[in-house]
Amino acid sequence: MLRAQVCSNGELSFLMEAHDGLSATIAQRSGFKGLWASGLSIACSLGYRDANEASWSQLVDAVERIVDSGPLPVLVDGDGGFGNFNNARLLARKLLQRGAAGVALEDSCFPKMNSFVGDRHPLADIDEFSGRLRAVKDTVADDLVLVARIEALIAGYEMDEALLRAHAYADAGADAILIHSRRSTADEILSFARAWQNRLPVVIVPTKYYRTPISVYRKARISTVIWANHSMRAAIAAMRQVCRRILAEENTASVEPNIATLDEVFELLKYDELARAEALYLRPDAELRK
Ligand code: SPV
Ligand code: MG
């Protein structure tokens, strides 16, 4: 299902960020058809920085909660794979076991730093990173969609370097290329797309260039847009506001209209299903008499 979304050159698809079971459930109920297990957002929800402070096993556990929350395919932000080819293939194998549909690996060095923090991040050597991709492909074959993410533009290199890397990663077996940019306009990723000519599908993350209309990406035949961190950022703003008001007012009356009701919480997590199951398994006779 993820392969059809990411690897189709026809229709633009969207992946919504999730970082836990609740954010995944809300994204699914809102109508999204696929999820991005964001490294930044998962780290943030654990109280860590997006600098490989969370371990690969903590990532895999978070992904399991996301996968378990519903039927949507999950593309996992695998950072750089937590080390060399061996760490990357281990991560991919564990993600596959936990039900992920794909993994995105970026050509950063361990420990990575979030793309928007600082500049001139060190890039992995092309051949070494291609080895990570090949090792992952040899381990999971086509059971996991493999997205190769290029950090060259983030790190301040020219387009030629990004294209060189894209071709090398395609040769190494990537299924799609994620081209990342920190510019506030989409110019950089659009010139990449023009030069790349869709040798492999292109995935983008318009976190900084959010003003560009989606029609521009359709025209450029981008395959997938990732909304990478917006539920996490929405949660921060909402939680901060409610904390401030309750602290100041020593009362919750004024925040009640702006927060989810308990009934909404019970509905989201399907408490009704548990009640039906109880009738079936705890009191089967009562169920039969209905
Ligand atoms: C993430 O969501 O963790 C990403 C995207 O990698 S970004 O933070 O925009 O680099
Ligand atoms: Mg990330």
pLDDT at 286: 65
Which residues have a Cβ under 8 Å from the Cβ of 22 and sit 6 or more positions away?
69, 268
Give the C-alpha separation, 172 to 287, whole Å: 57
Domains, in order of start, for the chain:
2-229 (3.20.20.60), 236-284 (no CATH)
- Cβ atoms < 10 Å from Cβ of 197: 8
- Residue by residue, DSSP assigns 180-230 as ---SSSSHHHHHHHHHHTTSS-EEE--SS-TTS-HHHHHHTT--EEEE-SH
pTM over 0.85? The answer is yes
Give the C-alpha separation, 216 to 235, whole Å: 29
Residue 258 is given by DSSP the state G
**Residue from 36, 38, 63, 204 to probe ligand 1 pocket by mutation (most atoms less than 8 Å from CB):** 38
- As given in the structure block, the two tokens for residue 238 are 């909402």
Q: Which ligand 1 atom minimizes the distance to the CA of 207?
A: 9
pLDDT at 289: 58
Q: Whose CA is nearest to atom 5 of ligand 1?
A: 228
- Cβ atoms < 10 Å from Cβ of 8: 13
Give the C-alpha separation, 224 to 1, whole Å: 13
pLDDT at 235: 98
Respond yes or no: is residue 79 known to be catalytic.
no
Q: What's the number of CA atoms in the CB half-sphere (13 Å) around residue 53? A: 14
Q: What string of pLDDT tens digits covers the 290 residues of the chain?
A: 898 888 876 799 999 999 999 999 999 999 999 999 999 999 999 999 999 999 999 999 999 999 999 999 999 999 999 999 999 999 999 999 999 999 999 999 999 999 999 987 899 999 999 999 999 999 999 999 999 999 999 999 999 999 999 999 999 999 999 999 999 999 999 999 999 999 999 999 999 999 999 999 999 999 999 999 999 999 999 999 999 999 999 999 999 999 999 999 999 999 999 999 999 999 777 655 55
